[in-house]
Structure 1
Amino acid sequence: MVDNGVRHWQVTAEEAGQRLDNFLLRVLKGVPRSHIYKILRSGEVRVNKGRARPHYHLHLGDVLRLPPVRSADPAAVPRLPEQLAVDLRERVLFEDDRVLVLDKPAGMAVHGGSGIRYGVIEALRQLRPDLRELELVHRLDRDTSGCLLLSKRRSALRSLHQALREEAMDKRYLALVGGRWKGAERVVKLPLRKNILQSGERIVRVDEDQGKPARTRFYREEDLGIATLLRAELDTGRTHQIRVHLQAIGHPTAGDSKYGDETFNGAMRALGLRRLFLHAAFLAFPHPRDERIVRVEAPLPADLDAVLQRLRVAEP
């Protein structure tokens, strides 16, 4: 382990606009994500001598106090398995000098921490050490596959974060849910509140009083007897938004061990489903260089497509 003393950091023009938590994750490499949020909650991290929330956006000239932390020795960072390295290289859907879109595999977290040795961002930094400013633009749940956007420059990250805030990105998912869907389209507007359990697990609930606004549009793609294939489009990007909205309206997502239905999940396991049926199938965003719209699609993985095929055969 490497000990770091107190540091004071003045925010530059390139760093301005980043969320405080994302900035710390980049600067304090090797420090567990859980510990970074701990020092934020405790007030050990100061911005202009005061406390700041994780989602605070940095301003040019802000002065940060970074407390002493213990980070992993770079030599001790686990080496990426060769097969995973090959797989990730083949999963790049779009890349230029400013952005990269990856078809994230299911089961791989977007970042390490809490017992996870490495996630997508750590793996890509190992694969591409030339990309010194590579950062996640948004996140996908560990068990969700599909389009994941990363920036290769801090200026691009600021531009893409602004697009997210202005709801200028088009993110579409495919989800298999329990039950027959009534009608073709449904808009769900239910505020969501995130809680952290003592175990560190994140849990999200509908909360009309203290929840943050959340809006998801659902479109029926295919009736499949005991299940329905939906397309979900996000107008907001809350944690676990699609899964919690579906749970709230009585159509749990297949394979969802946190918010799903045990009986329905059992029926889907019998058809070969071994994970959450949620796939980020499409992403469109304004390019940070010239604002032209970039559209990227990630094909439905073979394991999920096989479940759909079995449902089609089984449907009376």
Structure 2
Amino acid sequence: MKMIQTQVSFHQVSSEEQGQRIDNFLMTKLKGVPKSLVYRIVRKGEVRANKKRIKPDYKLQQGDEIRIPPVKLSERPELPSANLKHVQALEDAILYEDDALLVVNKPAGMAVHGGSGLKFGLIEALRSLRPQEQHLELVHRLDRDTSGLLMVAKKRAVLKGLHEQLREKTMTKQYLALVRGQWQKNCRNIEAPLLKNTLQSGERLVKVDAAGKPSHTRFRIRQRYQQATLVEASPVTGRTHQIRVHALHAGHPIAGDPKYGDNDFEQLVSDKGLKRLFLHAWQLKLTHPKTSEEMQFEAPLEPSLQHFLDTLTVI
């Protein structure tokens, strides 16, 4: 991939940009730069606010002058053609759209953004479908193999408002997951710190570890089956692979999980016809950042998952 060398640049923070962390700001400005490099240039003092050294958690203030050092960037690839089948299919996956945001029912198997050998992901496909929108940004993420509700902001102020709801925990996200065995009635909250490790290949693995970040998921039983339980999971925090690792920590790995699954259970559900991770973001409740309207979105299980459930014996 062709690399381009940037020059030193200076950026004055606008009212829409204030309040965001410098590391998140840089990852938006320097698209394609690894997060590790962003932290390195901040730590070394190459990024400055008003000529002063800052930390990665520094929050931008309106009028700040930010010095951005020269870095090597991958030349930004062209957006995918809007005529591609997978891109066109996203049009039907858009459940809600106004001048502030989009809510999409992301299909399983589609990454939320390109990289790591992928030419494009959901956000690049949406930018291709909506070329007139200059500021489309993901509000949150879903794992590639997870399906369901995903928000995309059209304006920086909207992104900021939705991120605030996530931080303040006034937005709720509900997932459906099929797990191994019989989930315990008294296991309603799992609070176990999660530590993320990125391998040289770029693969991310997460484990429960005292050195990890505080993490909290609420679980509720929806339906019991002979060898599995359908649970509703609500992540209070938003860590990488959080629901998957907390379910494993409870002794109930999610069906169809190639990273954290149980081999015998995986063979069982595969023989019964499950071809993907059984994790789906089905409900989202939030306050519209512009109108203050209370909103609720739902995305039912895709037919293949519902059909799989119908093959199981209810108890």
TM-score normalised to structure 1 length: 0.90
Q: Which amino acid aligns with 2:67?
A: L
- Residue 268 of structure 1 aligns to a residue in which SS? helix
Identify the residue that residue 87 of structure 1 maps to in structure 2: 89
Deviations 1:136-193 (A, max 9, x none): 1111111100000111111111111111110011100000000012227611111112
**1:205-230 Cα shifts (integer Å, max 9, x gaps):** 1112x222111111111111111100
Matches within 5 A, 1:170-181: 170-181=172-183
User: Which residue, 70, 73, 87 being the options, matches 1:70?
Assistant: 73
Q: Which moved more, 1:12-21 or 1:146-155?
A: 12-21
Q: Cα offset for 1:94? A: 1.2
Cα distance in structure 2, aligned partners of 1:136 and 1:19? 16
Residue of structure 2 aligned with 1:43, choices 41, 44, 52: 41
Change (3 A) 1:173 1:73: closer
Structure 1 residues 7-16 or 147-156, which shifts more? Answer: 7-16
Once structures 1 and 2 are overlaid, which stretch shifts more, 101-110 or 77-86?
77-86
User: How far did residue 57 of structure 1 move?
Assistant: 4.0
SS for the counterpart of 2:311 is helix
Structure 1 residues 239 and 82, CA gap change in structure 2 (3 angstroms): same
* Structure 1 segment 207-246 matched on structure 2, within 5 A: 207-208=209-210, 210-246=211-247
Aligned partner of 1:199 among 198, 201, 222: 201
Do 2:108 and 2:147's aligned partners in 1 also have CA atoms closer than 8 Å? yes
Shift of 1:23: 3.0
Aligned to 1:168: 170
Letter in 2 for 1:118: F
Question: Is the Cα contact below 8 Å between 1:184 and 1:220 reproduced in 2?
Answer: no
TM-fit CA distance, 1:85 = 2.3
**Letter paired with 2:275:** R
Unaligned runs of 5+ in 1: none
- Going from structure 1 to structure 2, the CA distance change for 1:77 and 1:177 (only over 3 Å counts) comes to same
Distance 1:260 1:20, change over 3 A: farther
Aligned to 1:137: 139
Q: SS of the residue aligned with 2:217? A: strand
Identical positions, percent: 47
Amino acid of the residue matched to residue 68 of structure 1?
A: V
Structure 1 contact 188–217 (Cα < 8 Å) conserved: yes
- Tell whether the 8 Å contact from 1:216 to 1:236 is kept in structure 2 after alignment: yes
Question: 1:79 aligns to what SS in structure 2?
Answer: coil
- Gap regions ≥5 residues in structure 2: none
Distance 1:268 1:59 in 2: 52
Q: Secondary structure at the match of 1:146?
A: strand
Once the two structures are superposed, the pairs formed by residues 1-316 of structure 1 within 5 Å of their partners are 1=2, 2-29=4-31, 31=32, 35-43=33-41, 46-48=47-49, 49-50=52-53, 52-53=55-56, 57-60=59-62, 61-72=64-75, 76-80=78-82, 82-183=84-185, 186-208=188-210, 210-312=211-313
C-alpha contact 1:221 1:231 (8 A) present in aligned 2: yes
For the residues of structure 1 that align with 2:194 and 2:65, how far apart are their CA atoms?
Answer: 31
**Paired residues, number:** 307
- CA-to-aligned-CA distance 1:96-135 (integer Å, 9 cap, x gap): 1111100001111111111111111111011101111111
- Give a deviation string over 1:58-94, Cα, whole Å, max 9, x none: 33215131423233255x5443552112210001111
Instruction: Look up the SS of the partner of 1:303 in the other structure.
Output: helix
Partner AA of 2:258 in structure 1: S
Structure 1: how far apart are the matches of 2:79 and 2:238?
Answer: 31
CA 1:51–1:125 in 2, change beyond 3 Å: closer, same or farther? same
Residue type of the alignment partner of 1:120 = L
Paired with 2:69 and 2:91, the residues of 1 have a C-alpha distance of 35
Contact 2:283 2:296 in 1 (8 A): yes
User: Shift in Å at residue 310 of structure 1?
Assistant: 1.2
What is the deviation of 1:274?
A: 1.1
* CA displacement at 1:294 relative to structure 2: 0.9
Letter in 1 for 2:294: I
Supply the AA of the counterpart residue of 2:191. K
**Change in CA separation of 1:25 and 1:226 when aligned onto 2, cut-off 3 Å:** same
| Cα distance in 2, alignment partners of residues 25 and 259 from structure 1 | 29
Q: Distance in 2 between matches of 1:70 and 1:77?
A: 17
